[in-house]
Structure 1
Amino acid sequence: MTTQNSAATATEAEATRSGRGRATRTRWHLFFLLLVLVTVNYVDRGSISVALPLIRQEFNMPPELVGLLLSAFFWTYALMQVPVGWLIDKFGPRKMFTASCVGWGAATAASGLAGGFMSMFIARLGIGVTEAGVMPAGGKLNALWMPASERGRGATILDAGAPLGAGIGGIAIAGLIAATGSWRWAFIIAGAATVLLGAAVWWFVRDNPRSHPKVNEAEAEYIEAAHRAEDAATDGAEGTGKLRNYLKYRSFWSMCFGWFGFNGVFYGLLTWGPLYLSEAKGFDLKEIGWSTFVIFGAGFVGEILGGMMADKLQVKGFGTNKVMRSMLGFSALMVTLGLVGTTIIADPITAVVLLSTVLFFLRWVGLFWAVPATLGGRKNAGVLGGAMNLSGNIAGFLTPIIVGLIVGATGGYTWALLYFVGSAVVMGIAVISLDYSKRLAI
């Protein structure tokens, strides 16, 4: 892997010197658009958590029913991951991205028309179906557009939209509720904006660099040469694309359990975090919005820095396994310590600081979106990304329900936070047992 990274870096300079002119950087513009897309995705996905105190009061829901509602999105989102990963590999990420934007925008707007628990539950199921293709399609584009030496940054730019969207969403949805006087109009406006984003995605995204009008010959050759070097190092093995062929490998299961543990923490804080700040710390709607922005904003900064650090260390010659295992193992340790601290210290401001630290290090695990391309190659990155995201979103639909049961049974959040600690431990074991350095032979 280190040899591939050095070769890729040399190839960019060689492509520029070859008379093709300076290489364009369209791949980075593309991933900036994906960052915006995933940010909006998480604004819409997390909007219900910010508005939950108002929705809970209007629909008169006990904690157990709140947990069920928060989990609804993840049921269909998780179930669709493997099928949508196969569709991405077959039809390309551009079509799936566009369809997702239009579909989840419409479903978000529909949730603003919900008349009670059941209609809101159905709308959340619809958002889960339509958003399912976003992250696996992004992982596929990372495989198709990025050399191995840049996939760490590609993965974290893509995934950084999650904490950024959660942070911005806290302020945006709270602001829309304040401006319109209604959580319903906030959802309708957010949904309409997402449908418009679908047009931008169709206009700019392409399934491969050469078909993009803004990619010049030097950039196309740089990417293709890096891919040829990567294929040569792995004997060009791409496999059949059948998921069952990967089930015998430890690295496949480590990828899945790592993402499962990661999402046990992240989705727990995303869905229950605002209500925790409201009920356990006494924050009002405005304070919830700003605290959510600070906590998840720290995750965005951590993720971008983590991706830059990982790529830089590998280009300097450090082995992929050494970089990934040391960085992600350290992140798991810091997440665990931060969550334990949150259960012990009662001060509200300290809780926000500790949770910000948790998110900063937790989001380093966004580097996992480079793993499907590493293990499965460009051909199978979609289906492997779908399998990984399926595992993570099993935690997504279990966690809100479990936390709801815990809060309902205990009347507090201490044991819920300890549940997050357990998820961080699972993540830590997985991230240090995965082999990040080679493609799986199938």
Structure 2
Amino acid sequence: MKRTRVRYGMLALVFVNVVINYIDRTNISVAGAALSKDLNLTSVQLGYIFSAFGWTYALLQIPGGLLADRFVPRVLYAVCLISWSLVTVLQGFARSFAALFALRLATGTFEAPSYPINNRIVTNWFPENERASAIALYVSGQFIGLAFLTPVLVTIQAYAGWPGLFFVTGLVGLVWGVIWYLFYRDPLDHPGVNEAELTHIEAGGGLVSGRQPAKPTVWRWANLKHVLSNRTLWGVYIGQFSVNALLWFFLTWFPTYLVTYRGLDFIKSGYLASVPFLAACVGLLLSGFVSDRLVQQGRSVSVARKTPIIIGMLLSVSIVGANYTNDTALIIFFMALAFFGAGMALISWVFVSLLSPKPLIGLTGGVFNFMGNLASIVVPIVIGYLAKGGDFRPALLFVGALGLVGALSYMFIVGKIERVPEPVSSQPVNF
């Protein structure tokens, strides 16, 4: 029987989710310069606004991972999409630092389960030798969406103001949340998938829902301790923090850097800002397909998965080069090269699928994303303080240094790639 290819349709739905997810994370960066002027925000206050999303997003990754293990993606994702989109609309009404800060906290709260859900979907729908490519494709949504839509967002703001930007982006998410619920299904629930595709997924290590014995998801402190006590997992945690440091510079401060610190026209900056996002997308897709190709050629999983990430993290250090030129073309070149490298490193979600104890994929993904997204709290605030004197060079040195830390972590801390054994059962803790 010729197998169906329904898994790619489900991946396309996840791709759109990621596009909307990142638009609603980063619309604040497009609005940053105008919003800062209208609300009389200092660079330090703007740094806190940029970081507010990350406070709740990072802190709720572990609960988000547990939710991803417990509830079906169709329902949980729809609830999250509609909730964070509604909060995005409300941001258009904010007229104070406190109100905007609170609404950004709420956005992070409702987006928190999204990437653990993404990882569960890919783990269920794709065999291991296709997983890096699948991850690269859906993660590329954040770059493709921002690359092509940043000029659109800038144009919307130019005509409707920053409140209109939040209204439009929020309404798009509300509509898409309904579409997701109508069309997404898990493998065994989808009417279009045939037995040949299910067998292909399961034979390749895909965890097709209901096809393998699964332990019930019960909160145990021992489970959390288990995923926090493994050296290899700590290596990828540190690496994820480092790559997210560069990502969150581009998701928050980059447009303000071009307009305020480099003196570029607002509309022009919107088009130039799209170039690094395109470069990151190319790096991500190249890394995913090369990594899977190496696996298919018989290279060890450690070499195939780690090498593109190490090369990418080393390339990300090139962001420091922007400190040594005033030429706009060279500034964008260094930014694009650095973000290309960061894109290469963003296949790191594949390690959650490869390393997680099977009953704890959601929890491990939550811890992984928590560690990585601590950067979304730390980096915007630190940059705000480093740039408060009007000099952005120390901020770029800080981001470049973190890229080097990530490369060293994958070189010297991440060991052989093999699945972490399941924890010994312990009694659940009652609250």
Q: Give the TM-score, by structure 1 length.
A: 0.89
Asked if the contact 1:335/1:359 (under 8 Å) is kept, the reply is yes
Cα separation, 2, equivalents of 1:288 and 1:350: 14
Give the CA deviation at 1:325.
2.3
2:252 paired residue number: 271
**Residue of 199, 211, 218 corresponding to 2:196:** 218
- Code of the residue aligned with 2:365 in structure 1: it is G
Give the CA deviation at 1:415.
0.2
**Residue of 120, 125, 150 corresponding to 2:105:** 125
Q: Does 1:255 align with 2:236?
A: yes
Instruction: Give the structure with the higher percent helix.
Output: 1
SS at match of 1:252: helix
Give the alignment of 1:189-200 within 5 angstroms: 189-200=168-179
- Code of the residue aligned with 2:169 in structure 1: it is A
Asked if the contact 1:81/1:386 (under 8 Å) is kept, the reply is yes
1:72 paired residue number: 52
- Code of the residue aligned with 2:250 in structure 1: it is L
Runs ≥4 in structure 1, deviation > 4 angstroms? 236-241
SS at match of 1:227: coil
Give the CA deviation at 1:237.
11
**Residue of 37, 41, 51 corresponding to 1:61:** 41
Q: Does 1:203 align with 2:182?
A: yes
Asked if the contact 1:263/1:395 (under 8 Å) is kept, the reply is yes
- Code of the residue aligned with 2:96 in structure 1: it is G
Question: What does the per-residue CA deviation read over 1:123-176, in whole Å, with 9 as the maximum and x for residues that have no partner?
Answer: 111111011111111011121111110110111112112222332342121121
- Code of the residue aligned with 1:224 in structure 2: it is E
Cα RMSD, aligned residues only: 2.1
Asked if the contact 2:246/2:339 (under 8 Å) is kept, the reply is no
Change (3 A) 1:247 1:156: same
Asked if the contact 2:126/2:206 (under 8 Å) is kept, the reply is no
- Code of the residue aligned with 2:167 in structure 1: it is I
Change (3 A) 1:162 1:436: farther
Give the CA deviation at 1:92.
2.7
Q: Does 1:339 align with 2:319?
A: yes
Cα separation, 1, equivalents of 2:22 and 2:216: 32
1:18 paired residue number: none
1:375 paired residue number: 355
- Code of the residue aligned with 1:398 in structure 2: it is V
- Code of the residue aligned with 1:285 in structure 2: it is F
Q: Give the TM-score, by structure 2 length.
A: 0.92
Cα separation, 1, equivalents of 2:380 and 2:218: 36
**Runs (5+) with no aligned partner, structure 2:** 209-213, 424-431
Give the alignment of 1:37-436 within 5 angstroms: 37-180=17-160, 182-206=161-185, 208-227=186-205, 242-336=223-317, 338-408=318-388, 410-432=389-411, 433-435=413-415
Cα separation, 2, equivalents of 1:219 and 1:131: 31
Change (3 A) 1:52 1:297: same
Question: What does the per-residue CA deviation read over 1:166-200, in whole Å, with 9 as the maximum and x for residues that have no partner?
Answer: 323421211211333x2111211110110111112
Question: What does the per-residue CA deviation read over 1:197-218, in whole Å, with 9 as the maximum and x for residues that have no partner?
Answer: 1112112222x31211121121
Q: Percent identity?
A: 28
Cα separation, 1, equivalents of 2:148 and 2:105: 23
- Code of the residue aligned with 1:196 in structure 2: it is V
- Code of the residue aligned with 2:196 in structure 1: it is A
